[in-house]
Amino acid sequence: MTNSRPWIPYLLILPSVAFLALLFVVPLVQTIWLAVSDNGAPSLANAERMVTDINFTRSVKNTFLLTIAVVPVQIALALAMGTMVAKVGRGRETILWIWTIPLGISDLAAGLVWLSILQNTGYLNSLLFGLGIIGRQASWLSYQTPVALFLAIAVAEIWRGTAIVMVIIVAGLNQVPKEFKEAAEIFGAGPWTRFWRITLPLIRPALQSALILRTVLAFEVFAVVYALGGRNFPVLVGEAYNWQNQNQNYSVAAAYAVLIMIISLAATLIYLKALKVDPERLP
């Protein structure tokens, strides 16, 4: 049946391909052209403008630092959380449900939640003051306290983004057959050996998806940083936003967008190469 009409699968995916081409490829091509042209002629002026801007180096540095700080912590936390719930019998669903609450909150709302905790008149200051630890409001989020600001943003990002990693990893863990673990136990493997030698290799596809998703999202971090840091902590997407909205120079904003896309693609390729998944294990 299928062999006699080999074009059927292509026909079925045609609408989505057309949809993607219309709403994704066309704007993508337009954005790239906007970034590499000036008055209708090819030009690197926008890229030059971007690179020589005072916030460019800082935004690249901040974005990478944040990614390097946040993603490993999220993966480690998600693995720990996933392994923990695997041992829980009753109440497992409830725990998972609670842990995934941050997933339902928008980025900006998450940023505002943390702003209400960390700003001058926020909950943290009130608590510390109430306990007599500090004599007056401390500022955690100003340009004079870059380390505290960085930590605050990292914590907010970890809080917000770990749930999605956990969901993917729990799904991966559920697919690991119990027999493998039981066999390993019979041969005397301890919990660490079982984790490193059995669980981790078997959840590699899930891990790969989670890493790609989280890293790409980390490079695109914006709303949380915007809420907590404002101008004090420039990141790549924030700069794209500023050039588009405040400076109204769509070309330089497009240059930033293209740069973010290149970085995200490069990160994805690195993960695809580094965490090779056997073809037979692909969905």
Partner 1 sequence: MKHIMSFGILASTVLAFASPVLAQTVFVSTQLRPIEEATVVREELLKDVGSVDYVVEEPPQFAVRMEAERQAGKHTVSLVGALHGELSPLADKDTLEPLDDLAKKLAASGMPQSLLDLGKLGKSTQQYIPWMQATYVMAAKKEALQYLPAGADVNALNYDQLIEWGKNMQDATGQPQIGFPAGPKGLMARYFQGYFYPSFTGGVVRTFQSADAAAGWEKLKALWAYVTPNSTSYDFMQEPLAAGEVMVAWDHIARLKNAISAAPDDYVVFPAPAGPKGRGYMPVVAGLAIPKGAPDKAGAEKVIEHLSMPETQLLTASKVGFFPTLNIKLPPDLDAGVALLAGAVTATQASKDAVISLLPVGLGDKGGEFNKVYMDSFQRIVLQNEPVADVLKAQGATMAKLMADTKAACWAPDAKSDGPCPVE
Q: Does 251 bind partner 1 (CB under 8 A)?
A: no
Nearest CB to partner 1, comparing residues 67 and 119:
119
Tokens of 69: 């700080």
Nearest CB to partner 1, comparing residues 106 and 245:
245
Cβ atoms of residues 137 and 95 within 8 Å: no
Q: How many residues bind partner 1 (CB under 8 A)?
A: 23
Q: Does 121 bind partner 1 (CB under 8 A)?
A: yes
Gap between the Cα atoms of 205 and 276, Å rounded:
8
Q: Which stretch binds partner 1 (CB under 8 A): 100-108, 170-178, 226-234, 261-269?
A: 226-234
Tally of CA atoms within 13 A in the half-sphere of 75 that contains its CB: 19
CB of 116 to partner 1, least distance (A): 12
Query: 83, 249, 264, 268: which one contacts partner 1 (CB under 8 A)?
Result: 249
Query: 244, 261, 268, 277: which one contacts partner 1 (CB under 8 A)?
Result: 244
Quick note: the x/- pattern for partner 1 over 122-151, rule CB under 8 A, is: --------------xx-x-xxxxx------
Quick note: the x/- pattern for partner 1 over 168-187, rule CB under 8 A, is: --------------------
Q: Does 120 bind partner 1 (CB under 8 A)?
A: yes
CB of 103 to partner 1, least distance (A): 27
Q: Which residues pair with 38 in a beta bridge?
A: 41
Gap between the Cα atoms of 43 and 33, Å rounded:
10
Query: 7, 101, 246, 279: which one contacts partner 1 (CB under 8 A)?
Result: 246
> How far apart, in Å, do the first and last CA atoms of the chain sit?
23
Gap between the Cα atoms of 257 and 260, Å rounded:
5
CB of 33 to partner 1, least distance (A): 17
CB of 141 to partner 1, least distance (A): 7
CB of 238 to partner 1, least distance (A): 9
Q: Does 43 bind partner 1 (CB under 8 A)?
A: no
Nearest CB to partner 1, comparing residues 33 and 195:
33
Query: 247, 262, 269, 276: which one contacts partner 1 (CB under 8 A)?
Result: 247
Collect all residues with Cβ–Cβ distance below 8 Å to 2 and sequence separation of at least 6.
8
Nearest CB to partner 1, comparing residues 74 and 125:
125
Cβ atoms of residues 114 and 152 within 8 Å: yes
Q: Which residues bind partner 1 (CB under 8 A)?
A: 54, 120-121, 136-137, 139, 141-145, 226, 229-232, 242, 244-249
